[in-house]
Every structure is written in C-alpha cells, then in structure tokens.
Structure 1
Amino acid sequence: MNMPAIGLGTFRLQGQTVIDSVLTGLELGYRHIDTAQIYGNEAEVGQAIADSGIERASLFVTTKIWTENLSAAALAPSLEDSLARLQLDQVDLTLIHWPSPGDAVPLAESLTALAEAKARGLTRHIGVSNFTLAQLQQAIDLVGADRIASVQIEMHPFLQNRRVARLAGENGIPVTAYMPLAYGKVMHDPVLQRLAVQHDTSPAQVALSWLLQQGFAVIPSSTRREHLQANLQAARVRLSAADSAAIAALERGERLVNPDFAPQWDPDA
C-alpha cells in the first residue's frame, strides 16, 4: 500500500473551512487525505480535490464506514454514496470507523461486506479503526492480516495504545495514528517543549516525528497554512533514542475520543 506517511485529517472541519484546508494542504504537497462518512464533509473534500487539479493517481484518499452502515445490505451502498460525494470512482482505503455498538452487526458480516466492496472496485484497500485487541485479533482471524491494510487508532504521547500497535506490528498491519497532536495539548507539555528547543522546531513536529520514527502514519489536521506546512516537514526532525524514551514516558492513558458507543477499551492500552 502506497499510503503517504503524513496525511491531512479533516475531522471537525466543515464547509469552506475544510475546502480551504484541503486545497492548501494539496498545494503544499499533501497527497494523503482522510475523511469519513460521519464527518459530514466528504462532498467538500471531493470539491477541494476536484478544484486542485491534481491527478487522481497522485492522491491517496481514505474514508470510513459509519456504524449505521455496517450491515451487509447497507455497507456497499453507503460507500457508493461516499464516492458520489467525493466525486471519485474509487477510494484508496475504506475503514470500519468503529466496531458495531453492542456487536449489533457481527464483525464477520461487516468485514465480508467490506471485502466484497473491494472486490467490486469501490475501494483499493480495506481496514479497521478504533478496534480493541480482541476485535483486531478477530478481524485478523476472519480475513487474514494481509487483507487488513491499516488499523487507525488514537495515538499521541499521552495515549500510546502500545498493545494494539504491537499486535498490528506483529501481524504486519500498518498503523495510522489519529489525533497525533492531542487536540494541541502537545504544544504545552514541558518535555516536548524542551525537545523542541533542542531540535530548533516545535512541540508538534517533535510529537509527529516520534510517531513517524516508529513507523506509524499520522493524520494531523489544521486550518492554518503555517501549521499545515510545519506538520508536513515533521519527518525532517530526527529524535535520539533518549528523546524517544522521554516521550514514551509521557504515557498517561489520556484518551480524548471516547464516545458512549465506544468498545470496552483494553487496560493500559
């Protein structure tokens, strides 16, 4: 899978704000755009992609199937609707956004439907998001690790999700870290501030570099041109083993995305 390691997240961005963010990001060099059905911005993301004039083959576009659309009857039609909004014939990656609340739709059913959508050419790759250890293992058992192109999980210095990341790594499944800047909280952490001074950069770039150096993809979002550009340059920051250890010590289980329908999270994840 040729997914760029640094992508542009669009969570919480609406209307002209998301159009401007995506257009600016594409102008700066982003080629990986992440959206979702529940974000309510697929049409605007699609408009920005169309207006950018960048050839489709150069882009990697991810969307996610919402919980209401996980049944065998609903999944593919909902993805077709997403494609219409995005003005695309195919997305590069489609994820199950959240496990079905209360297992209302069995994982076998939604994964089979997602695999069938891939076979129909609606998506190039499939994957999962916000899965627990047990759910990820179940997905692996159902379809095989080689067919799971990515697992997307909340991950930042204050919630490192090590156990899920380890299981993914052991099975060769790429990990994408969402919320990598912890809603901007990384900017105020003394350790990250100290490392930023040492490396003549920002705490945000330090946090992103730390994730990138572990082999994870990142999808930060921003509406400001200077931040979009700085995030894209995070790979230039090279942290030492001591730097990485200092960041690893910041783990405190601070989960920022925890809706009432979330699964029962693994302890110390």
Structure 2
Amino acid sequence: MTDRVDIETPLGSISVYQKGSGEPVLLWPSLLMDHTLWTQQIEHLAGQYRTLAFDPPGHGTSSPVTRTFTLDECADCVCAVLDALEIPRTHFVGNSWGAMVGAVLAARYPERVASAVLLNGTASPASPLQRMKFRILVTAAGILGSLRPPLDRAVLRAFLGPTSLRSRPEAAETVLEVASRVNVESARYCVRSVVSERPDNVGLLAGVSSPVLVVAGVEDRIFPVSEVRAMAAAIPGAHFVVIDGAAHLLALEVPGRVNELVSDFLAQHRFAP
C-alpha cells in the first residue's frame, strides 16, 4: 500500500504517493495521466528504493491549475516536494511531460539529481501539427465535459501504438480510465503550458551533468524516435535506448522492460543519501 502526502508547491498542492525505503526515486507521468501510470514500477522499485510517484499539477488528487506555467516552475515544484520531505537528492524517472521536467530539473538543479531516466521526452518546441491536435482534443473535451466517449479513439491513438491497441487491452483500459478523470479546465492550461508554449530547451540541456538514460518507443506518434534521439544528443553523455512494440506510455505498455532498464540504470548510480 502506498502512503499519500499533499505538499504545497508553486503550482498548488501536489499529491505524492510513497512506498518503500532507501534511496529516493521520484516518478512524474505524462500529460493526462496520474501516478497510477507507474503502478508496476512502484511495486518493482519499492523493495530497494523509496518511491515517490507524483500526481502532477492539475491531475489526480493534486490541486487544479488555473493558469499556464513553465517547465522551470515544474522543476521548482519537484524541489519544493524534496525540501518538504527533507530529501536533498533523488533519482528521477519521467515520461513525456515528466521527462521534460526531469531534464530541466537536472539542468537547473544538478545537485538534486543523482540520475535520471527520461522516457519519450523532447527538448524541442511543439510542431504546428502537434499543437493543433492537442488543441482540438482539449477543446472537444471542454464541449463534452470530459475525455470520455466519443474521444476514446483519439486518446488511445495519441498514447498507444498498434501493438498495444491490438494485444494489450489492459493498457487501453487504464488509459481511458485515467484520462476520464482529468479535470478538463486544468487540462487546457496544462496542454498550453506543456505543448503549445513549450520552449526550445536544447541549449539548456547541454549543462546537464547527471547520468541520464533516454528511452524512446518506436511506435510513439507524439514524439518519434528521431525527436527523442535529438533530446539524448543534447545531454552530454546520455545513453539512448529504443524499445520495439511500444509507443508513448512505455511504463504501462511494457512494464517489465521498463522495470529492467530503470533498475539496471539506477543500480549503476547508487549514492549515499
């Protein structure tokens, strides 16, 4: 069982779900997802690590957001949580939005990041097509009142690839369940902040000094492998891995493979808290 703690940050109250003990590992999910994206990683890691899984701003049981924000402010939220829990340094695992936050955190606050695993992230601004797709999705959700039917197909195609849609029904069920709980007004601000107004951070990531593993899903429709590879190339010394048969939500689609990659990488970069 995980314990929940709510912590005040620059972007409101953030819910953090904790389990296990040892060196801390912080988990930040994708846009429109909450801490349950990491259910299998929490169970896997909690035997050796103190796992801290976020409901990010405006998602899950964290406070709704009422304005746009920056990735730097998200990094400040992480620091606020670490300070409140008296954690000077942590490992960081992030997916998409979480990967972007982890990269900025490592660049801005290198002393707080022991290592980082960044899944399906980017250092680049959103393309016009990506801005349009997400704008249409949240506009339709606002009209309908939620991300439930008839938006199911659009949500699934955004996050899952053909392999998962064909052979992993449990992943599809989880995506739709979590997305249906999203606060639509918060989602609008989050999409504007994380997608539409996302800056070019390639230059910033040149200052990252922590060990970093960047992972791409070959079937990801949001960030193609080439874009994730470019993120890895922007980070000095970053390792880069491509996973076949999976798309944007790797932790949910191929949890065993992600658990293996994360465990092996963290084991190489243990530290004394």
What is the TM-score normalised by the length of structure 2?
Answer: 0.31
Bigger Rg, structure 1 or 2: 1
Give the number of the structure with larger relative contact order, counting CA–CA contacts within 8 Å between residues 6 or more apart. 2
Task: Kindly indicate which of the two structures has a greater share of residues assigned to strand.
Answer: 2
Q: TM-score, normalized by length of structure 1?
A: 0.32
